[in-house]
Every structure is written in structure tokens, then in C-alpha cells.
Amino acid sequence: MSDRVAIVTGGARGIGAATARKLAEDGMAVAVVDLDEGSCAETVKAIEAAGGKAIAVGADVSKAEQVTAAVERVAAELGPPTVLVNNAGVLRDNLLFKMTDDDWETVMAVHLRGAFLFSRAVQKHMVDAGFGRIVSMSSTSALGNRGQANYATAKAGLQGLTKTLAIELGKFGVTANAVAPGFIMTDMTQSTAKRVGVDWDAFVKNAVSQIPVGRGGRPEDVANTVSFLVSEGAGFVSGQVIYVAGGPRA
């Protein structure tokens, strides 16, 4: 994969940062994309310190013109991108009767519109190369979760987008899959604990008690799964949703 160029959105921290580092470890040049280009510096620095190649790119994934500019910059500086990880995401949790229009629209714009815009922008490079890998970050919340009508809907929508991309782009050598993490210990998860007023240690203990493998997930657990899905060896895996949740989900 040393000649591949990958784009990882939401790559400044958490799952995105771990994924960017892993893909660089696999030999890819990586564009680390986030809303604030400066916030990507730590991820880029870690990749370069390990001998990899990376650039930071600032872009609002929900803005078509910024997505187009970001992909053009990546192609110019690193080469045509043939691996895309749609990881950018935000939370605006609330019960339905308290959820505002902005809560709904912001989550849809970042998760769903962002994945659509980036997928549309990179597919030409993938088709031209006869090779492409698109992985979108869904969630176990796609199965439904209290206080997350917006997030659950967006994450379920990503699964539908993934399956459609797999059908449309398969004949061009492009695969599309989704990864659906369960309880992963990140800053975003900590913010959820804070929002519901639960001590972090107690929050983790409760979550782990329901996970068959008996531990919380780490960003690296998700990154390792993405690494396989974007590899040469995963060319016959497409249109799938892989739950990285420490146990079965249905």
C-alpha cells in the first residue's frame, strides 16, 4: 500500500487520529482532515516522527466547495487519493422533545452530507486508478439509542450510503464498507458521560459490564479494522457493516 494516498476526516483526535496513524504505518501517505487545520498538527507530527508522510488539511466536511478544494489539494500535494475514511462526526444528543432543528441539521450535515460530499469528490480518482476503498464510520447507535434520534438516524443512513456505493462503484475496483464501533473510550465518549452527569469511571464500569470481551474499546481497535478493509486483501469485502463492539450486535 506504499503507493496509496488516504484521506481521513475527523483525523485530529480519537478514532480518526488512531486510524490516520495506522494507515501511515501501513505505508500510505495520509491527509488528516479536520475543521481546524491546526488541530491536526499532533496527528501529523506523530506520523512523521514514525517515518510516515502526512499533511494537515482544514475543511468543513459539510461544505461542498471546501471538500472539493481539500481533495484537490491532497491530489496535488500527495497524489490521487484512493482510500477514504469518512470519520468526521459531532454529537448533539437530546431527547426528541428537546431536540432543536439545529441539533438535527448539524448532525446530519457532518455525518451524512460530509460522507456523501467526500465520497463523491474522491470517486473519480478511484475509478481512474481502478482501485478504491471507502470506509464510513457508523455506530451501534444506528440500531437505536435513547437521546440520539439525530445521531442514530445519521449512522443508519451511512449504512445505506455504504451499500449503495458498493453497488455503484464495485465494477470499477472500488469497495465501500462501514465500521460500527460500540463503546470506545474517546474524548467524545467522555463528553457523553459528562452530559448525563455520570462519573467517568462509573460510566466505563457500567458499559464494560455489558461487553462480552470484558473491556472497553480503544481507538486502535477501530483503526485495525479499517486497516483491513482498505487493504489489497479485502477486495472481495464490500457493502458490509462491521460491528467493532466486543460482542455480537444485531
Name the residues annotated as catalytic: 151
DSSP state of 214: S
Residue with cell 443508519: 156
User: Taking a C-beta distance cutoff of 8 angstroms, is the pair 134, 179 a contact?
Assistant: no
Q: Let me know how long the chain is.
A: 250
Q: Which three cell numbers mark 65?
A: 466547495
147 sits in the region (left: phi over 0; alpha: psi -120 to 50; else beta) called left
Cβ(148)–Cβ(210) below 8 Å: no
CA 93 – CA 99 distance, rounded (Å): 8
Q: Residue 93 and residue 37: Cα distance in Å, rounded?
A: 26
Q: Which amino acid is at 88?
A: A
Can you state the angle between helices 14-25 and 219-229, rounded to 10 degrees? 50
**What is the 3-class SS of 111-146, one letter each residue?**
HHHHHHHHHHHHHHHHHHHCCEEEEEECCHHHHCCC
Q: What are the respective helix, strand and coil percentages of the chain, to the nearest 5? A: 50, 15, 30
Local structure of 225: helix, strand or coil: helix
